[in-house]
Amino acid sequence: MRLVLASITLAFSSTWACAQSPRALELPLAIPIIGDSCAGHEQYDDSTIEGAAGYSNSTTDGVYAMAFNARGSQATRITEVCVCWTKTASATSVDLPFNIVVYEDGGPNGSPGTLIAQRPVIAPAVPVFDGAGARFYKYDFSANPILVSPGRSFIGVKWVPFDHREFFLCADTSIENAQQPAYSSGNGGANWESMASIRPNLKAFGIRALRQGFQVRYVPALGLLGMAVLLVGIALITLKVVRRLHLR
- Which pLDDT tens digit goes with each residue over 7-66? 222 233 333 333 346 765 555 556 667 777 788 899 999 998 899 999 999 999 999 999
The number of beta carbons lying within 10 Å of the beta carbon of residue 123 is 23
Split at pLDDT 50, 70, 90, the class of 4 is: very low
Q: Are 70 and 145 in a shared domain?
A: yes
Q: Are 235 and 144 in a shared domain?
A: no
Q: Are 58 and 114 in a shared domain?
A: yes
Split at pLDDT 50, 70, 90, the class of 74 is: confident
Q: Are 17 and 127 in a shared domain?
A: yes
CB 182 within 8 A of CB 67: yes
Q: Are 178 and 244 in a shared domain?
A: no
Number of separate domains in the chain = 2
Q: Which domain holds residue 106?
A: 4-217
Q: Are 98 and 131 in a shared domain?
A: yes
pLDDT in tens, 141-162: 999 999 999 999 999 999 999 9
Average pLDDT over all residues of the chain = 82
Q: Are 41 and 161 in a shared domain?
A: yes
Q: So what's the pLDDT on residue 214?
A: 74
Q: Are 30 and 132 in a shared domain?
A: yes
Q: Are 78 and 153 in a shared domain?
A: yes
Q: Are 143 and 243 in a shared domain?
A: no
